[in-house]
Amino acid sequence: MLPLFTPFQIKNLKIRNRIVMPPMALDIATEDGAVSHKIIEHYRARTRDVGMIIVEHSYINPIGKAHPCQLGIYDDSLIPGLEILAAEIKKYGVTVGIQISHAGARALDTPSGPSSVQSKYLKRFGGKEKTSYRVLPKKLEHEDLKEIAIDFARAARRAQKAGFDFVEIHGAHGYLLNQFYSPLTNFRHDEYGGSLERRLTFPLEVVKRVRRAVGKDYPVFYRLGADDRLPDGNTLQDSITAAQALEAVGVDCIDLSGGISGYIKKGEEGFFTYMAETIRPYVNIPLIVTGGIKTGAKANEIIESGKADLVGVGRALLQDKDWAYKERLKLEGKSEEKLDEELEEKLDESKSCPKETCESDSLYMDDLVEELEISH
């Protein structure tokens, strides 16, 4: 069997293959952050031959909301909708987790962060930083940090209650935990800022709270912004320390990404693979790597080389919901006829899909992808 399609296990989680749909928010929840029909249809459509789906970043409290129709996980009343979403994805044999996040200084209306500094590196939804330039983020005090850590923990419990197989803490892409970790956005002089160890204090406190809330057996992932890719920012060397510290406090899998102000890099397929390659010898927990992967051949090569344990495929899956299926057929050397035949069957199956949902699925996608690329 091709390495890409071999099963993998994290704690008690059995994942059927190594392809991960990474978190990708499309701003299609309700204004209150509840699961919508569009969301369910969007994920359901992408379950074919994918091993794991990490549902998009969901805000843990209203202060940390990043965009108007972001998915939320800040209140127990949202659990029933999340339960339906998790169950729908699991029905197709896919392992499913959800990413929990606080936008910090990138929040839609209420920016807050480690320091009260307007950072040119942090973009807010809809270019809000331009119109509200003078609104400095509120500096978070110790009491606020405690509350936020508790909100993360509560959100993680909700994910668990809703039936998600695991929870992922968002520590990348310029969101709050990345803001604490990065010297470009953290100018504090207390125990939460200064040295690398201190900048890691708050992210680690959040992980510890989450771990306590979900118990020792529930898998907790961490999306690490492992390389700011900017002068004076965090380097991959710093992230070796960060990855080891995350493992030490009970993170079960590190989902690697980077770029405090943009996670897309033009260039070769698998542009963040170097992160996994560097960190791999220093930790024992599994690594996911995402970035620019467009072909099954590249994904397979990354797994075969042992550089990462799982590969994230984002935009390629947004653009073609059957990406994993088609790439599998190609890798297995299935004939064009076979491909057509199987696709024909798929089309027949999809005739049962209500017209309205299918149409809206393709309509919103093109419009939103461009705008949201810089926003999560």
Helix (H, G, I), strand (E, B) or coil at 31: coil
Q: Other CB atoms closer than 10 Å to residue 137's CB: what's the count?
A: 23
Nearest approach, Cβ of residue 55 and ligand FMN (Å) = 9
Closer Cβ to ligand FMN, 188 or 236, answer by number: 236
> Which CB, 188 or 223, lies closer to ligand FMN?
223
Q: CA angle at residue 173 from 120 to 234, to 5 degrees?
A: 75
Query: Closest Cα partner for 168 from 251, 51, 92, 228?
Result: 251
Residues 6+ apart with CB under 8 A from 215: none
Q: Is residue 160 within 8 Å of 214, Cβ to Cβ? A: yes
- Three-state DSSP string of 246-298: HHHCCCCEEEEECCCCCCCCCCCCCCCHHHHHHHHHHCCCCEEEECCCCCHHH
Interatomic CA distance for residues 329 and 310, integer angstroms: 19
Helices and strands counted in the chain (H then E):
14, 12
Q: 3-state DSSP helix/strand/coil percent for the chain, to nearest 5?
A: 45, 15, 45
Give the footprint of ligand FMN on this chain (CB under 6 A).
22-25, 56-57, 99, 170, 172-173, 223, 257, 263-264, 290-293, 312-316, 369, 372-373, 376
Q: How far is the CB of 25 from ligand FMN (least distance, A)?
A: 4
Least distance to ligand FMN, CB of residue 70, Å = 8
| Closer residue to ligand FMN in complex, CB, 22/296 | 22
268 burial level (CB within 10 Å; 0-12, 13-18, 19+): exposed
In the bound state, the residue with its beta carbon closest to ligand FMN is 314
Q: How far is the CB of 264 from ligand FMN (least distance, A)?
A: 6
C-beta atoms surrounding 259 within 10 Å: 22
Smallest distance, Å, CB 199 to ligand FMN?
19
Residues annotated as catalytic (active site), given as ranges: 175
Beta carbon nearer to ligand FMN, 83 or 373:
373
Minimum CB distance to ligand FMN smaller for 190 or for 366:
366
Q: How far is the CB of 124 from ligand FMN (least distance, A)?
A: 15
**Whose Cβ is closer to ligand FMN: residue 188's or residue 325's?**
325
